[in-house]
Structure 1
Amino acid sequence: MLGYVARNMREGTVETAQWNEVDERVGADAVLLDTRTPGEVADGAIPGALNIPVDELRDRMDELPDGRVLAYCAVGVRGYLASRILVQAGREAVNLDGGYTTWKAATQG
């Protein structure tokens, strides 16, 4: 999986964001998408995120508002998959490197 991610980043197929870019990338024209399971979300999430588990994303894309999507999961793999699914469906999507785990460690110590 890491090889796919690296190749897609090198080729510009996938765009990533860092934990400190969340606020600037999510605004009036973007949505924060949590691709983890509801059980994981119950233990904490980035405020304002919409939860659609990656396994349900293809069937629930109509729930996403228009605009750019910043996808995340626990550490980045499901967020990466979600961003690829969204881009292939014609959406503009970015994956949060390190996911919720990195964001939480950086913002909540």
Structure 2
Amino acid sequence: MDLTPPAPADAEEIAARLAAGEWVVDLRSRIAFADGHVAGSVNVEADGNPGTYLAWLVPWGRPVTLLAATPAQLAAAQRALARVGVDRPAAAATGTPADWLPAGVPPARLTRATFADLAAAGPAVVLDVRRASERANGWIAGSIHIPIHHLRDRVRDLPPGPIWVHCAAGLRAAIAASLLAGAGHDVIAVDDDFAAAARAGLPMAA
């Protein structure tokens, strides 16, 4: 495996790659991503098995640019991706959104919430991105089910308006929310343990 550092990308190149339909992956934590990121980038946490999720989600052969907080975070993700066939990222950058955005362009933000927030919001469109085996043990009544590994191909199946997206603990919800936000949806990422849904009083089904 060639694990030499990818070619560095500046803000203009990152913007050009996004405009060309390439994948730009932000490896920082979902909390940092929500606080500010490059619009159109996808959040897959470096500590959350990025190889697995990107192998599912990135179309085969599509160039991938990696954004990381540190060189160590970038190197670890590069090794994980090489193991699943993403041998050479097209480019990479480290730092913060201030380093990755052209001057004068503010970072995008993503709303995070809990199941208690969802319950307080009243009727809402809820997207469950867990696996079918997880959902079989119970789900929020009326929720839409699209496992995360199918989401890329089914974004157009979702209705307009705000979408609350959840998984079992928050990691996959953040990935899904970043995908949906990049596609133009108004999305809220539920960063919470699924067991809290019933405690919050949300209607459950099984």
Runs of 4+ in 1 over 4 A off after TM superposition: 105-108
Q: Which runs of 5 or more structure 1 residues have no equivalent in the other structure?
A: none
Q: TM-score, normalised by structure 2?
A: 0.46
CA RMSD of aligned residues (A): 2.3
Same amino acid, percent of matched pairs: 29
Q: TM-score, normalised by structure 1?
A: 0.83
C-alpha contact (below 8 Å) 1:75/1:102 kept by paired residues: no
Distance between the aligned counterparts of 1:93 and 1:81, measured in 2? 12
Counterpart selection for 2:114 from 6, 18, 25: 18
Equivalent pairs counted in the alignment come to 106
Give the drift of 1:85. Answer: 0.3
Matched, 1:63 2:170: no
* Higher radius of gyration, 1 or 2: 2
State how 1:1-109 maps to structure 2 within 5 Å: 3-11=28-36, 13-25=109-121, 27=123, 30-107=124-201
Higher relative contact order (CA 8 A, sep 6+): 1
Structure with the larger helix share:
1
Give the drift of 1:65. Answer: 1.1
Distance between the aligned counterparts of 1:2 and 1:101, measured in 2? 27
Question: What CA deviation, in whole Å up to 9, does each residue of 1:9-45 have, x standing for no partner?
Answer: 3226221111212134353xx4100000111111011
SS at match of 1:91: coil
